[in-house]
Each structure stands twice: as C-alpha cells, then as structure tokens.
Amino acid sequence: MCANVKLMRGIVDSLPFSLTVGTLGIVFGATAGSAGLGNLTAILMSFLVFSGSAQFAALGLWKQHATALLLTTTLLSTRFLLMSASLAARLPRIPTWLRTLLGFGVTDESYALSVTRGAKGAQISVPYLAGCMLAIYVPWVLGTGLGASLIGPLIKRAQIHRRSAERRLGDE
C-alpha cells in the first residue's frame, strides 16, 4: 500500500474521533472567554498545546500561579510519556523532523487507533499514524476557533438577553 493510501486510511478511521474532538474543541473555545482567555489565546493554546485534558484544567487555573499551570500540565501529560515510548518501540527508522511532528501529535485517540491496528508488537505505519493525528489536530484547532469566535459570543448574548428580559418582567 502506498503512503497516500495509508494516510487517507488513517484519516478515515479517525473520522468518528474528528467529530467528538471537534465538538470538544467548540466547547473549549466557547468556555475559554468566561475563564478570562482571549479568543486568540484560546486558539493559540489549541494550536500549540493540543491536549484537551490539560487545556480544560488550565481554564480553572488561569490568571493564577504559572507554577500551578506547569505542574498540572506536566501531571496530565505524563501518560503521553508512556504512549510515546511504546510508539517509539514500534516505529521504523525515520528522520528527526518527522519524529518531532509525530511526538507533538500523540493523543489518546491517535495512539489507540495506531497501536490496535495490525499484529501485537508489529511495526506502526508512519503515514497511517500521521493521518490519525491530522484528523484529530485539525478539528481541535478549528473547533476552538469556531467556539471562541462564534458559539461563545452567541451564548453570552443569549444570557444577556435572558437576564434583561427577566429584569423587565420583575419591574412590571
């Protein structure tokens, strides 16, 4: 099978996760504003951090000590250390830039998909893994952007409307 086919295969296999991760991204983007993150900060975070658990935890810790943020992120990311090590044992020899990208892209979903495919302990297909990662990363960032720029403000406006309607009812 050629690389493009495997990449497509990884993307197609990940589509169910793209849907859930995209939705989660929208939720993250929409709630980030009320935690004190600017739109651009929220999007930048999804773009660079790319970890749902760490990012949602950060919302509760925002504007507090950076040490708490660092500690929480580190603790929540330790599981990736094991996942990445088990991936490393099954990767073929590939250049450093590709390793860096694959390392950045390790998530619960892409890890689960790529290690359960094929025989136990068999070598992992790099294009397939890359396809899984892309299909998770893109919806996560896009979802955050959509949530922060559109869904979040919509919810806020609806809340303000409701509050003012309640106030008007109270006056009468």
Is 129 in contact with 11 (CB distance < 8 Å)?
Answer: no
The DSSP annotation for 129-151 comes to HHHHHHHHHHHHHHHHHHIIIII
Rounded to a whole number of angstroms, the minimum distance from the CB of residue 101 to another protein is 9
Orientation angle between helical segments 3-32 and 52-61, nearest 10 degrees:
20
Is 21 in contact with 133 (CB distance < 8 Å)?
Answer: no
Q: Which of 80, 138, 149, 155: binder of another protein (CB under 8 A)?
A: 80
6 near another protein (CB under 8 A): no
8 near another protein (CB under 8 A): no
97 near another protein (CB under 8 A): no
| Cβ atoms within 10 Å, residue 97 | 8
83 near another protein (CB under 8 A): yes
Distance separating alpha carbons of residues 152 and 172, to the nearest angstrom: 31
93 near another protein (CB under 8 A): yes
Name the residue among 88, 85, 137, 90 with its Cα closest to residue 110. Answer: 137
| Contact range with another protein by CB under 8 A, out of 2-10, 37-45, 131-139, 141-149 | 37-45
Name the residue among 101, 52, 111 with its Cα closest to residue 80. Answer: 111
Q: Which of 11, 26, 30, 45: binder of another protein (CB under 8 A)?
A: 45
115 near another protein (CB under 8 A): yes
132 near another protein (CB under 8 A): no
| Binding residues vs another protein (CB under 8 A) | 13, 15-17, 20, 37-38, 41, 44-45, 48-51, 54-55, 58, 62, 66, 69-70, 73-74, 76-93, 96, 99-100, 102-104, 106, 108, 111-113, 115-116, 120-121, 123
